[in-house]
Structures are given as structure tokens and as C-alpha cells.
């Protein structure tokens, strides 16, 4: 995701409270690693491209406020597999995250390029009017942000579901064919009454600009936007996500925004302004930097990224 004139604040990074959750996560990691090894063995960790799992085009409805996480085809390789016991627990609606609803928003859409009129339509984000959506960016070799974000979203969704959570995506597969608009993406989380929502992106900046940053909602009270109830919990969620993402991926905090904290506050993003549930964005790296793009196009690293996001969200939900 690229942007102009962001509002940069440098919120003081709060240490994520680990507590008993780390013991549970420590037990999970070996199983997740085994699942990753299986996934790599069947060819799921290749560089670039869309995930190889077959996802039905009907998985997301344009008329539905929240799309349920789609069932995978029997022939689709797993993105991560902590084990049959975890899968059974998730199916039964049990596990450490049972009863929790998480909305994952994979940024952009590969079909946006074919729908310029639709995505350039202006929508009200409270503070001002912006495009419905944008095309996103890509690596210099052509691996698109839209493909990257959906792949990480699938991996993250699998990890969350295996712990009993209900996962909803704002887009999946070929549906919708473009968008959704940023206003709709926020609405999906709101109508799902999500316990947490995260929008996954990769940045578009100059060569040499490296690292990740988590975008937190600033205080907005204008028009249809009122972030005051979610600013505190969203900042808590963002700090935990940043901590665990750094630990799992070893990706450094951004060297070009956030003053080294990995945290940036903005009030110009509709997906945050219109959210009524705790929500953050993450820019996992800069697709236009050669070092970052080498990570983003590597399947094993994307699995680590999903693991870091999972641990941060789980830590927030179990606080």
C-alpha cells in the first residue's frame, strides 16, 4: 500500500503482556513448525504467485456484510497444520480462542486493475472522501500486493481456526471481482462484531526503505467516523502484533516511518476511521526494496509472518 502525506505520530511502544498465553503459544509452535515442514514438502512454499489451495469463488458474497472463512477442497495443501487434534477442536468450536471472531482484511484485489471506474469512485471516510480502493503495489518482478496479502490471510486464518476462532475475510478467491471499498471492509468487521480485525498490506516506497510498521487509528470524530471507543484497544492490539511479528520474522521495524518503533498513527484511512471494533493495519515490508521483496516472495517467510500475526492477535484476545 502506498500513501501520501500520512499523519505520523510516534506512540510509545508498550510491551506486550505475555503471561500464561506464552506457555500455550510455546506448545503450539512445534506443531506449527511441523505443519510448515509438511506444507513446504508438498510445494506450498514456492516464491511468489497465488496460494495453490482451491478456494470457491462463492466464498465471499458482495451482498454479505461478512464472508465466512471458506472450507478448503480435499486436494488443497494445508497452509499450516498443528495437528489433527487441533483441527478437531476447531471443528467442534473449542480451543483457546473459541467464541472469538477475527476479521482478516487482505488488502486490495487483483481484479482492481480491470475496474478503474469502480475503484476510483469516491467514498466518505468521515474526515474526507477517498477512492473506493486502489490497485496496490507489486515487487519489481511482478508479485502483487493483492496476492501477497491473500496468501498471508489464508495462513493466518488457518492458525486462528485451529485454535477455535471464527475467521471472516473481506475478500477471497475471485470474489468479489474488485474491491470491496474501504467503507465495506470496515463494515464487514463491524457487522461481525469482531473481537479484533487486521488489514494486511505491503508497502510501496523507495529502494532502501525497509521494514514493517503497524498502523494504529488516531482519534477521529467527524461525520460517520468515531474512533474514540477503539483507539485504546487498537493501540494495545497493534503493540502486541508488532512485538510478535518482529520476534517471529526478524523483519526490522521500518527505517522510514515510525521512528524505529514499528508503530504509526494515522487518521486518513477509511478502514480504520469507520471501524467500531479494535483494528490495525500492518505493512509487512516494502515490496519495492530488493531485500524486503526477497522475504515477501518466500513462502516460508510468509508462514512466519502469519505466525507472528497470530501470536499477537491471540495475546490481545487473551489479555
Q: Which residues are catalytic?
A: 283
Helices (H), the chain: 21-41, 84-91, 116-119, 145-161, 182-191, 228-249, 270-273, 290-296, 299-317
C-alpha cell at 230: 477503539
How many CA atoms are closer than 13 Å to the CA of 262, on its beta-carbon side?
22
How far apart CA 90 and CA 78 sit, in angstroms, is: 15
How far apart CA 263 and CA 234 sit, in angstroms, is: 12
In the chain the first and final C-alpha atoms are separated, in Å, by: 30
How far apart CA 177 and CA 184 sit, in angstroms, is: 14
CA proximity to 275, closest of 240, 246, 237 = 237
Element housing 252 (H / E)? none
Contact 167, 60 (CB under 8 A): no
Using DSSP's 3-state secondary structure scheme, residue 154 falls into helix
Amino acid at each position: 500500500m502506498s500513501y501520501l502525506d500520512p499523519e505520523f505520530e510516534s506512540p510509545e511502544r508498550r510491551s506486550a503482556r505475555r503471561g500464561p498465553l506464552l506457555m500455550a503459544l510455546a506448545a503450539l509452535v512445534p506443531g506449527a513448525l511441523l505443519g510448515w515442514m509438511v506444507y513446504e514438502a508438498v510445494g506450498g512454499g514456492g516464491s511468489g504467485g497465488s496460494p495453490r489451495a482451491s478456494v470457491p469463488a462463492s466464498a465471499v458474497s458482495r451482498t454479505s456484510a461478512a464472508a465466512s472463512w471458506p472450507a478448503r477442497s480435499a486436494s488443497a495443501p494445508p497452509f499450516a497444520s498443528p495437528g489433527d487434534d487441533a483441527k478437531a477442536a476447531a471443528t467442534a468450536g473449542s480451543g483457546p480462542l473459541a467464541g472469538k471472531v477475527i476479521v482478516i482484511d487482505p488488502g486490495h484485489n487483483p481484479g482492481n486493475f480491470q475496474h478503474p471506474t469502480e475503484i476510483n469512485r469516491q467514498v466518505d471516510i468521515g474526515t474526507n472522501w477517498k477512492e473506493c480502493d486502489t490497485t496496490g503495489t507489486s515487487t519489481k518482478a511482478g508479485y502483487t500486493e493483492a496476492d501477497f496479502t491473500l496468501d498471508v490471510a489464508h495462513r493466518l486464518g488457518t492458525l486462528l481456526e485451529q485454535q477455535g476462532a471464527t475467521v471472516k475475510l473481506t475478500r477471497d478467491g475471485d470474489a468479489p471481482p474488485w474491491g470491496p471499498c474501504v467503507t465495506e471492509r470496515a463494515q464487514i468487521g463491524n457487522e461481525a462484531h469482531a473481537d479484533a480485525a487486521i488489514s494486511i498490506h505491503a508497502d510501496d516506497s523507495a529502494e532502501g526503505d525497509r521494514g514493517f510498521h503497524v498502523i494504529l487509528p488516531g482519534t477521529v470524530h467527524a461525520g460517520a467516523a468515531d474512533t474514540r471507543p477503539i483507539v485504546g484497544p487498537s493501540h494495545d492490539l497493534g503493540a502486541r502484533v508488532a512485538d510478535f511479528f518482529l520476534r517471529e520474522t526478524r523483519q526490522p521495524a521500518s527505517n522510514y516511518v515510525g521512528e524505529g518503533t514499528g508503530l504509526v498513527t494515522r487518521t486518513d484511512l477509511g478502514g480504520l476511521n469507520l471501524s467500531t471494533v479494535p483494528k490495525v493495519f500492518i505493512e509487512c515490508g516494502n515490496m519495492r526494496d530488493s531485500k524486503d521483496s526477497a522475504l515477501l516472495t518466500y513462502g516460508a517467510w510468509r508462514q512466519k509472518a502469519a505466525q507472528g500475526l497470530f501470536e499477537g492477535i491471540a495475546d490481545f484476545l487473551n489479555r
